[in-house]
Amino acid sequence: MKKINLLTIFTLVLLIFAQGISQDKIALILKARGKTSIKRAQGVDFKSGVTVGTPLYSKDQIKTGDDGYAAIVFLDDKTQIKVRENTEMVISGDRKPEAISKLISMQFGTLKAEVTPMKKGEFTIATPTSVASVKGTVFWVQSDPINGDAFYGISGLVEVTNNESGAIILVGANQTGTSMPDGETGVESTQSGEAPEDKPEQGTEMINSLRIQFQNPSGETKDLRIDYK
């Protein structure tokens, strides 16, 4: 059995009022390291110093460098995005009473999406080449404006539409879907070692817990707890 250093376990408690959530925040930074920066929707420059608990608003832009990494959680349903190195994307959210419809506009790079099954709302990743839509699934996407996109299914189903040809492919678990700038698409079985993998932390295993405390206008308080590695 692995031993866990309790010093690496931390809980971040945030008290967020319902009005503030509905108008502003759509997600939070769960973890960040290396060269990771944010440009706000109304900002001009990217700012470094991204830390755990940093709030994200619709149209914020996130960029990681050679050693950068960021884990993001949406406030409505615990959907998580893990942004790998050398990635640039815009995070958008259209808040409805029941859920946030989420759009990740990915310029280039690599990310993993762990999408909570949704009864309402949508989760979409748009790249220069493709649009991927899901309701609840886990998958990786690697995107390059010149070389196209690769979607690696872990669980669930990803629907990918090619922007050039309009061709639609369905990518399931253990499958790799490709979508090229010239309109070509394809789906094959994922080969061993082909898909990206989560990088383990160096040294002691880390288990992190984020507890977000919501308070609605009537004064009722509810907790949202997220455990992640």
CA angle 67, 72, 74 (to 5 degrees): 170
pLDDT in tens, 7-38: 333 444 444 433 344 457 899 999 999 999 99
Mean pLDDT of the chain: 82
**Could you tell me which CATH number the domain at 6-214 has?**
2.60.120.1440
- Write down how long the chain is: 229
Question: Which distant-in-sequence residues (6+ apart) come within 8 Å of 7 by Cβ?
Answer: none
The reported pLDDT for the residue numbered 220 is 52
So where are the chain's domains?
A: 6-214
| 182 pLDDT more than 70 | yes
Query: In which band, very low, low, confident or very high, does the pLDDT at 203 lie, cut at 50, 70 and 90?
Result: very low
Residue 34 Cα distances to 16, 65, 107, angstroms: 28, 7, 20
CA distance 106 to 128: 8
Backbone torsions φ then ψ of 7, nearest 5 degrees? -70, -20
Report if pTM > 0.85.
Answer: no
Query: Which residues, in sequence order, are bridge partners of residue 210?
Result: 12, 226
| 65 pLDDT more than 80 | yes
pLDDT in tens, 111-132: 999 998 876 778 999 999 999 9
Lowest mean pLDDT among 24-33, 48-57, 220-229: 220-229
- Token pair for residue 184? 């070509």
